[in-house]
Structure 1
Amino acid sequence: MSHGLCYSLSEGNSVPLAFSESWQVLGPFQIGTREATWGADPLEYLGGFRSLEYNKNDKFTSSLPLEGAAKWSSVNGKQIASTPSSANVSLSISFPGVDWAFLKGVYGWAAVQYQAWVRGEIIVTSKETQSVVLYTDMVLEYWIDGVCYFGGDFYGFRKAPPVLHLEPGSHRIDVRLVRDMRAMGDMLDPTIDVILELNRTSGSLELVKPGILMADVVNSGKLASPIGSIYVRNSGTNDIEITGVQSGDADITLVNKDPKLVVVGGQTRPIALNIESLKRKFNPACIEDELPLSIEVELNYKVANLDGEVFTLTASQDLTIRNIFSPHKVTYLHPGAIVSYAILRPPVFSSTCLFGVRRSLPVLLQLHGAGLEADSEEVAHALDPVSDLCAWVLFPTGVTPWSADDWHNWGFADVEQAVRNIPSWMEAVGWRGPDADINRWVVSGHSNGGQGTWYSVTHRPDNIIAAAPVSGYSSIQRYVPYELWQPMDPRRSAIISASLNSYRHEMLMANAKGIPIFHQHGDKDDNVPVYHSRLLRQLLFQHGTKTSYYELPGQGHWFEGIMTTPQLQCFYRTYTSDVETTARPLEDFDIVVADPGDMGSKGGVKVLQLEDPGQYGQVQVIYDNSLKTCTIKTSNVLALQLQIGYFRLSAISIDGSALELAEDSAISSKLVDLTKDVEDQTWKVGSLQGSKSTDDILNRRGRQLGAMTAILRSTGPFTIRHQGNETAHIALQISRNLHQYFYADSSIVYPVSHEKNSPGNVISVAIGAALPRCAHSSFPIQVKEKSISIRDSVGRHKTFGGDQSLAAIFLRPLNGERLELVVWGSDSEGLSQAARLVPMLTGVGQPDFVVLTEAARWIGVEGAVTMGFLDHAWNVTRSSLV
């Protein structure tokens, strides 16, 4: 392989790093939407791309190219550059020999998704080992010198690149290319464009990026919020302990009160700060003290477990001063204990908005599209033409430009926390204007934010006054179809599909009944087809919901002013001026629930538990206002909760069982739990658990409910515990991916311990029999040295394992509604395979437990020997595959 590079190894070389000029390419091969996480790489059947050497005469079977044969080729980097501190290369890979137009005509966008591999080299021309970070824009997986790195940086966030310590000489890099429609867009001749970049590091603690995430200063001279964050990376090999923080410009402390805040070698962590007050600077020329123009923060650190020298890392941030009535940045702690932000525009002081005494105004949520920051001009000022609305206008970020996970678990928790933060903002700035009704929302959003609007409507119906999805897609699966996955039997595909049930809004339209909805969509939209809005409008009609619908003639996906068309302005003004502060009661309605853990109430009825979480639950409610009776019929529902404030009831009939509430002392509270007996199927007043003690781990509830993505409902930093050197690489990879895709924080702990005092969820990384014992005494999944045993829904035990490598990933309960995610392998290869399924990208579809053989590397989901769901008592469900 000719690289076109002629560098000498010398200490004085001013360009110590370089990428090769020529790269070897092998492909294309079939891949389905978001399938790469499961493996599904046909070259793994041959030992993987890493085991193959370039030979232009070799052919590899593939379903895409001419004659069904993929071949080697070569390509030169489009841009190759090296400086004393960096090196980069951009690659554009295409396969013109494939009839993409014909395939697309049959299979749609799914057909222009494919995978391939490319091989090049990193050359260290210096005689010294180079510590570098590697940015991998639009890449999901790569191997360096035979070591696998899974996760990459598929969206180009550049938040948590790996730290590499490269010795002098040549280092082979094999990059897996995966074309994804949502991330890369549609092209008639689909290419994959990636950027690889190396930057030299300090070899110690350093800032991930300059500056401090902090709130704006409003014209009261006060920070809109006291919470801030610095992002740091340990680019050395020794673990580093953060010992404190100080500032000459502000009174400041660390939010994390742990005695040891450790950043392990190669890890990136956000450091949350409490900026209690700004220190004003006295200017003799002015009567009043002045604010500093910027603040400087010093982070103190030392090598962990040593009493050596304390070092200082300095970060500074210019202060931004905004008018209090203009959109400005506010910060707060996400439930995962990281600092997030939103853009807030409080209501103006006017006779209309100040009607009454301390009138509570609703919150108008605007959810941005994919790839956008909430503080961008495009988002933060989208509603400037309606600056006089009587509402608290809030632009959440969802934590990341891709809203973390499509405004679902992690991203929607950010939305709700941003809303809950409004009273804290009032206190911080000394607000004396209208109050905020943080339980009543008008929701709108564009594109992915339009999809997020549908999620809000279907999952928090009692909070929604009205909704306006704009150019939004109906579900992940319908946006880019899940065709062209590797073949799998229908039962496996059903389990994958069921783990995404909560995001299939087409199935949840019944939940929108009674909510005024205005659709807007350009009829020439080539990004999100207008079909999505037309379909959901049809489904809403079939569920008895009337909507207002407007197609923008001749308009595409986006144009300036799309969020303030005359029709939308009318919508905003109509529903933010609505003085009703309680939900409109419905005489009859249905509820469809996929995951009670992310579902709120509708009409005062909330589903708490499903009998089988692998299937939808349904509730039909008929309320007789004259008799004050409520008739409820259920399907696949185990427990309900009623908000008595919605009803003045004398009796309830549920599935034919009459419950005389007026004579039952259990209804003295505002919330009443109803539970079905699993044996005789009769209903009773009372909770499923009997006791809601936080130490009760025998019953699954609350934040523990849902598929594997429930692990993202952490109420503190993640704790990643592992066994030592053999598992350290995977523990660090998981931490890196959590931060890259969710900006999440995690503490990496060795040796393995239960970490009982940790407030957040736990991820346990283990090989063989060293996995800590489960806190649940009769948990159905048990591991041994080379095998794993599962008790099925009827009590039979089945053991998997033997000579082949085995991988497993599954949820286990912890106290206080916390979860543990076990990432296990019978050997290091199995562990690496299991780690791929730690939730990262949306739409992958991970159920509660999965056990994989090594065949999954090339056949994908079909390589799962067992997979499925765990019920309310942590038993394997009937719908699982065992």
Structure 2
Amino acid sequence: MLYEKGIAFRFTLVLLSLVPLCVQHAPAMSSASQSHHSVFSFSDTWHVLGPFQTGTREATWGADPLEYLGGFRHLEYDPTATFWSSLPTNATASWNTTRPVRTTSDATSANASLSIAYSNVDWNFLKVIYGWAAVQYQAWVRGELVVGGNETQHVILHTDSILEFWVDDEHYFGGDYYSFRNAPPVIHLKPGSHKLDIRLVREVRAFGGILEPTIDVVVDVRRVSRSLELVKPGILMSDVVDGKLASPIASVYLINSGEEDIEIVDIQPSKLTSDNSFVGAQALLTEGINIGEQSQHTPPRVTLVAGQTRPIAFNISLPTHHDSVMEYEVTYRTLDGTDTTSTLRVSQALHYVSISEPHKITFLHPGGIVSYAMLRPPAKNATCLPGQTRLPVLLQFHGAAVEADLPQVNRALDPVSDLCAWVLFPTGVTSWSGDDWHNWGFADVEAAIAAIPDWIGNVGWSGLGVDTDRWIVSGHSNGGQGTYYALTHRPDKVLAAAPVSGYASIQKYVPYELWQPADPRRTGVISASLNSYRHEMLMPNAQGIPVQQQHGSMDGNVPAYHSRLLAEQLSRTGVIGRNPSYNEVEGREHWWPSVMTTPELVDFYYNQTKSKEKLPRKMVQFLLVVGDPGDMGGKNGIRVKRLEDPGRYGKVFVSGHSIKTSNIQDLEFDVALWNESVVLDGEELDLAGTAAAAVPSLTACKSVDGWDIRTTDTRVQRNGRQLGSMTAILRSHGPFVIRHSGSAHTSHIALQISRNLHQYFHADAVIVSSPSYTLPADTTGNVITLVTGSSPECIQSTFSIRVGESGVTLRGHRGQKQQYGDEATGTAFLQPLDGERLELVLWGTNEEGLRQAARLVPMLPGVGQPDFVILGESAKWKGIEGALAMGFFDANWRVTPSSVVESW
């Protein structure tokens, strides 16, 4: 969050006036008056209805009060109509009109900027009671896009800061809430007027908490070629370091803007050097196959369905001559029955840097995409300890809405250029770090660390080596929160941590206060699905790790309360003892140029990079707290493999050789640290005897008969990457596979899911249309399956949830069956696949029910999706209270007691 929440350059593209809706806006220049040749124009007057309350991240669940009346799309503008609302004076919301702050239009594009505000809400008083949660609200706005001429126009639609909208009768959920512009929808518009209904959702994390509570959005339409295009200019590739390419892996982002599917045939250099020594760029086209095993002669081909955006990975190498630009040609063909191929030329200016400077490296994310990080190897003048041959990795996590390749990020540690460490600035894949450095984003961190040895080989590095299992973690704002995540989830790898201006958890940042009223059991399930990210609950895991906190006393973005709270929690673990290493910088706000190199932090970096402490630590007494074993590494050689009930925290208390557990099913012991007898929950276990089997780890398994030790675990249970709530689907090894029956409405929803995955995570997805729901051969990624009506064979017949023409059947934790018939409109649930893979099944009674279920595909962090949800019609306006059942699966994929199963 270097410039998070709209405070600085988060919304540089929206410089808007803050005018109440009830005040007439100054006339805006009409599109027609701007250009005599405009094909597109937005309406001069827009109709707005609101405001209505909404909670932090609640919009994903629906929770739209107007759905009780059939939805905004079915309402006509009526300035005399009133609607019940908890926010405005007299509990009354009504229609108003507004004019765009700015519109532009020309022969190929049009743009409208809207700024919505309300003067009939006492925001300041609400903030006194509810804090920042009070300035989050929702409304709807309706306008028109007029298409001129006599021909159908093919366009992409950018929706900056918008989560949900309708174009005529077509629904789009996901939008572009962070204004990434990664994956705009492709829309084909006939001449005439087209209705735009836009749901406006204001959230503090995106719009700010200390500014006026306006909602500022942009809609932007641009004509496309009806073919293959670059959705992002250039090529994602590494820098050239002292004449050598830091990494041979590159990627381009392509969009199919036509109405027919397109197949990528090849990617090759567009020209040869004068001596014909250019090594060809052999495509590593990723169709769910292990990239590292591609043949150099028969690359697999990639399909982009009509309207889809995909990242395409390929190998590159430098020419022998000192060129300034790399150029490639993407060869493709349209799958319209012809064999004609076309080419798309892409180019990228080469960036030459010294090996001593921070520079860009590329690598493969587990999801099969190319990502990048900025790396600064140890300086030649670094004064390291005698005999120190392998140095730790100093991680620097950036804040939200900034990129790691910006100087204010990767140059932040220039004042300590002689550190005895490999300094790595990861991206988390996107400028918002995908999911706040948690699941998808943290996998990117670990992949970046693992890429350092590859870099050493690529550039011929002869300096000090790297120890990829010794981390010093630091970061600012959202990166400070990411530092807490690393500290509490990888304690056996963290040598030290320095969180700066970080927040404790999403729930503490902006409380989940103004959600629609719900049974506390339902809100408890949502909260439990976020257990792994509540750092205020996980601080015991940091015991024994040196921590240096820092926060500006006047921080209006992330209040210093967060660091103060976690300092208090840390002090109770014995981490920082009676003299907390806590530095609150008087008079400083959220960010200042030397925020990462204050004297306290500089001393901390130097001291910890020279630490001789051995990892993993062997401690006499400690407490390990686990929210999700799928996210969690070991502490002091002990790792929790499974919880009895994933809806509750698991705890392991160790005192010498005595271990007590709560809600733990399986424990793994590192035999290098644990090779003697232990007393586990009062039962003595001989680890020494079992360790003689010469295995690196032992597993203690709990049953009704007590604990027993196993050297191998052959049980078919939920394991590894399958553990966790619905966000576990993001632990995909390879591109996602989205399969559906091939109908028009399932095709649209599948494309929308693919678009959202790429928009918010830069993820790749293979869309498979097949009535038999077959999967491509050699698929390695997780699967998302869309179903309406009857159940295909891919839905496991013995699973705890069954779907079909008669509705949804759920088998509860006592084995009892609960049947939901017409009252169940949709469901989303995880089920296992082989190789620790997962399938997310989305089912609806019809298109509307499937749309409702598809909203739950993980997209924004903090939403809180458990393992399964069965939705009723009222979820559209009640949110989670409209869920008929929701909860978790245990290690045997049975519904847990902590789940909510409502009789009907």
Q: How does 1:12-411 map to 2 (within 5 A)?
A: 14-187=37-210, 189-219=212-242, 221-247=243-269, 248=271, 250-256=279-285, 258=287, 259-275=300-316, 277-280=317-320, 290-304=321-335, 306-350=337-381, 352-353=383-384, 355-356=386-387, 359-411=389-441
- 1:123 Cα deviation from its structure 2 partner: 0.2
The 1:6/1:322 distance shift into structure 2, 3 A limit, reads: closer
* CA distance in structure 2 between the aligned counterparts of 1:300 and 1:772, rounded to whole angstroms: 37
Question: How many pairs are equivalent?
Answer: 850
Q: SS at 2:492's partner residue? A: helix
- Equivalent residues of 1:786, 1:806 under 8 A apart: no
The 1:797/1:6 distance shift into structure 2, 3 A limit, reads: same
- 2:521 corresponds to 1:491: yes
**1:705 maps to what in 2?**
723
* CA distance in structure 2 between the aligned counterparts of 1:819 and 1:583, rounded to whole angstroms: 31
- Which deviations, in whole Å up to 9, do the C-alpha atoms of 1:182-211 show, x marking residues without a partner? 011024631000011001100010001210
- Which deviations, in whole Å up to 9, do the C-alpha atoms of 1:307-358 show, x marking residues without a partner? 421100110001000000100000000000000000000001237248437x
* CA distance in structure 2 between the aligned counterparts of 1:843 and 1:240, rounded to whole angstroms: 36
* CA distance in structure 1 between the aligned counterparts of 2:829 and 2:530, rounded to whole angstroms: 16
- What is the one-letter code of the residue matched to 1:109? W
Partner residue of 1:767 out of 773, 788, 799: 788
Q: Kindly report the root-mean-square deviation, in angstroms, between the aligned alpha carbons of the 2 structures.
A: 1.7
* CA distance in structure 2 between the aligned counterparts of 1:824 and 1:486, rounded to whole angstroms: 24
- What is the one-letter code of the residue matched to 1:195? V
Q: SS at 1:27's partner residue? A: strand
- 2:548 corresponds to 1:518: yes
- 1:545 Cα deviation from its structure 2 partner: 1.9
- Equivalent residues of 2:377, 2:422 under 8 A apart: yes
- What is the one-letter code of the residue matched to 2:790? A
- Equivalent residues of 1:650, 1:662 under 8 A apart: yes
Q: SS at 1:461's partner residue? A: coil
- Equivalent residues of 2:283, 2:315 under 8 A apart: yes
Partner residue of 2:663 out of 636, 643, 664: 636
- Which deviations, in whole Å up to 9, do the C-alpha atoms of 1:131-154 show, x marking residues without a partner? 000000000000110211000000
Identify which range, 563-572 or 660-669, moves more after superposition: 660-669
- Equivalent residues of 1:250, 1:295 under 8 A apart: no
- 1:83 Cα deviation from its structure 2 partner: 1.1
**1:799 maps to what in 2?**
819
**2:296 maps to what in 1?**
none
Q: SS at 2:515's partner residue? A: coil
- 2:838 corresponds to 1:838: no
- 1:256 Cα deviation from its structure 2 partner: 2.4
Q: SS at 2:581's partner residue? A: strand
Partner residue of 1:548 out of 556, 581, 596: 581
Partner residue of 1:599 out of 625, 632, 649: 632
- Which deviations, in whole Å up to 9, do the C-alpha atoms of 1:347-377 show, x marking residues without a partner? 01237248437x0000000000000100001
The 1:339/1:187 distance shift into structure 2, 3 A limit, reads: same
- Equivalent residues of 1:347, 1:353 under 8 A apart: no
- Equivalent residues of 2:28, 2:103 under 8 A apart: no
The 1:179/1:244 distance shift into structure 2, 3 A limit, reads: same
Q: SS at 2:401's partner residue? A: coil
TM-score w.r.t. structure 1 length? 0.94
Identify which range, 182-191 or 633-642, moves more after superposition: 182-191
- Equivalent residues of 1:39, 1:856 under 8 A apart: yes
- 1:667 Cα deviation from its structure 2 partner: 4.6
The 1:162/1:710 distance shift into structure 2, 3 A limit, reads: same
Partner residue of 2:736 out of 718, 728, 742: 718
**2:756 maps to what in 1?**
737
- 1:291 Cα deviation from its structure 2 partner: 2.0
Partner residue of 2:709 out of 661, 676, 685: 685
* CA distance in structure 2 between the aligned counterparts of 1:590 and 1:13, rounded to whole angstroms: 71
- What is the one-letter code of the residue matched to 2:366? P
| Structure 1 segments unaligned to the other structure (5+ residues) | 281-289, 624-629, 693-697
* CA distance in structure 2 between the aligned counterparts of 1:303 and 1:168, rounded to whole angstroms: 26
- Equivalent residues of 2:286, 2:368 under 8 A apart: no
Partner residue of 2:622 out of 579, 589, 599: 589
- 2:664 corresponds to 1:646: no
- Which deviations, in whole Å up to 9, do the C-alpha atoms of 1:769-801 show, x marking residues without a partner? 1433335x5211000114000000010011112
**1:449 maps to what in 2?**
479
- What is the one-letter code of the residue matched to 1:765? L
- Equivalent residues of 1:229, 1:273 under 8 A apart: yes
- Which deviations, in whole Å up to 9, do the C-alpha atoms of 1:789-821 show, x marking residues without a partner? 00000100111122x561100001000000000
Q: SS at 1:350's partner residue? A: coil
- 2:564 corresponds to 1:534: yes
Partner residue of 1:787 out of 774, 798, 807: 807
Q: SS at 1:646's partner residue? A: coil
Q: SS at 1:843's partner residue? A: coil
- Which deviations, in whole Å up to 9, do the C-alpha atoms of 1:22-79 show, x marking residues without a partner? 1001000000000000011100000000011111110000000010000110000010
- 1:6 Cα deviation from its structure 2 partner: 8.6
The 1:273/1:6 distance shift into structure 2, 3 A limit, reads: closer
- What is the one-letter code of the residue matched to 1:782? R
- Equivalent residues of 1:218, 1:322 under 8 A apart: yes
* CA distance in structure 1 between the aligned counterparts of 2:279 and 2:130, rounded to whole angstroms: 59
- Equivalent residues of 1:298, 1:313 under 8 A apart: yes
- Which deviations, in whole Å up to 9, do the C-alpha atoms of 1:830-879 show, x marking residues without a partner? 00000111000011000000011111011110000000000101111111
- Which deviations, in whole Å up to 9, do the C-alpha atoms of 1:233-289 show, x marking residues without a partner? 0000100000111103552111126533100000000000111x2122xxxxxxxxx
- Equivalent residues of 2:671, 2:697 under 8 A apart: yes
The 1:155/1:257 distance shift into structure 2, 3 A limit, reads: closer
- Which deviations, in whole Å up to 9, do the C-alpha atoms of 1:639-675 show, x marking residues without a partner? 010111124x331110111112233367531211111
* CA distance in structure 2 between the aligned counterparts of 1:744 and 1:81, rounded to whole angstroms: 32
Q: How does 1:817-836 map to 2 (within 5 A)?
A: 817-836=836-855
* CA distance in structure 1 between the aligned counterparts of 2:369 and 2:107, rounded to whole angstroms: 35
TM-score w.r.t. structure 2 length? 0.92
The 1:756/1:295 distance shift into structure 2, 3 A limit, reads: closer
Q: SS at 1:45's partner residue? A: helix
- Equivalent residues of 2:210, 2:556 under 8 A apart: no
**1:509 maps to what in 2?**
539
